[in-house]
Amino acid sequence: RAKDTGKSRCVVYSPEKFNQPEHDLSLEAAMFEAIRNGEFLLHYQPVINAQTREIVGFEALMRWMHPELGLVSPMQFIPMAENNGLINLLGAWALKSACAQTKYFCEAAGRPLHISVNVSPRQFRNEQFLDIVDDAIALSGLDSKLLVLEITEGILMSDPEHAEGLLHKISSRGVQIAIDDFGTGYSSLAYLKKFPITSLKIDRAFIKDLPSSVKDDAICNVILSLAKHLNLSTVAEGVESEEQFEFLARHNCDLIQGYYSGRPQRPEEALALLKPAAVAAA
């Protein structure tokens, strides 16, 4: 640490290292600029009904189109944005943009489609969060029942009292609440009773080895049956194969999301998926 090297020395990081685009510090500095330049966008991954295979909605997934690096993964920039606070700005934009886009999808498709938006811990703690949700709904004109906020188990466990109050306010708007990556966190069953949750998203970790893994089969079955008994809707994440789909459909998983239902894609491409019949008939 700089402090340990004495007063007379100032530690200078090598400029080469600092300038490397993959170096986090320079990537982080670039984020501020990127927001101003409109380099962030949302991709939409289709979610299908496991019985009818019809698209019933999308999950909005954030992307950063960096001028030199190309698409930067949210796994890289969301943790940074969470650290430096930019997630509040990015998250508010994502909510408003996803709601407005989905209102348009619904009008174009002539039927209701839901939209899932991820909420990070720092956004959830932000005292303006409820206003941001209300604004996103009011500005877009989207039916609030079509909005699903995805939160993680960690968010519920870190401050259960705050979570309980806020989730009740959110659900009083009609907005749905999904537990993302279910099974990978604390998995305390107490919160399923305590909080107004509407759905569970089974993490890809339990899906990827279906149906050959006896343990994962058992875990998925237990989650699906637990959800059914609690009247929660179920979504399987990261479904890639026909075999996985068949297994989940047979075990009454409600919704399927993964490369099987479609890749996360640009809004124009997502929209085209909703209207093939109309195009063919025209």
274 binds, among Mg ion, ligand C2E, none (CB under 5 to 8 A by kind): none
In the chain, the amino acid numbered 208 is K
User: Binder to ligand C2E among 130, 185, 240, 241 (CB under 6 A)?
Assistant: 240
180 binds Mg ion (CB under 5 A): yes
Site string for ligand C2E, 1-40 (x = CB under 6 A): ----------------------------------------
Contacting Mg ion (CB under 5 A), which of 153, 181, 216, 254? 181
Token pair recorded at residue 268: 């124009």
**Which residues 74-103 are close enough to bind ligand C2E by CB under 6 A?**
74-75, 78, 91, 94
Question: Does residue 255 touch ligand C2E according to CB under 6 A?
Answer: no
Helix 214-229 and helix 242-250: axis angle, to 10°?
40
Residue 270 touches ligand C2E, criterion: CB under 6 A:
no
For ligand C2E, the closer CB: 2 or 185: 185
**Of 3 and 204, which CB lies nearer to ligand C2E in the complex structure?**
204
Q: Are 259 and 240 in contact (CB under 8 A)?
A: yes
Interface segment toward ligand C2E; rule CB under 6 A; list 28-36, 64-72, 113-121, 224-232: 113-121
What are the CB-based long-range contacts (under 8 Å, 24+) for 182-186? 182/153, 182/223, 183/219, 183/223, 184/153, 185/152, 185/153, 185/154, 185/157, 186/153, 186/154, 186/157
Q: From residue 193, how far is each of 78, 241, 267 by CA, in Å? A: 30, 33, 36
CB atoms within 10 A of CB 18: 12
The angle at the Cα of 63, spanning 105 to 19, to the nearest 5 degrees, equals 160
| 127-156: contacts with Mg ion (CB under 5 A) | 150
Structure tokens at 245: 């789909």
Nearest residue by C-beta to ligand C2E? 258
Stretch 131-150 residues interacting with ligand C2E (CB under 6 A): 150
Contact 66, 34 (CB under 8 A): yes
If one asks whether residue 118 binds ligand C2E (CB under 6 A), the answer comes out as yes
Sites of contact with ligand C2E (CB under 6 A):
45, 61-62, 73-75, 78, 91, 94, 118-120, 150, 180-181, 204, 237-240, 258-259, 264
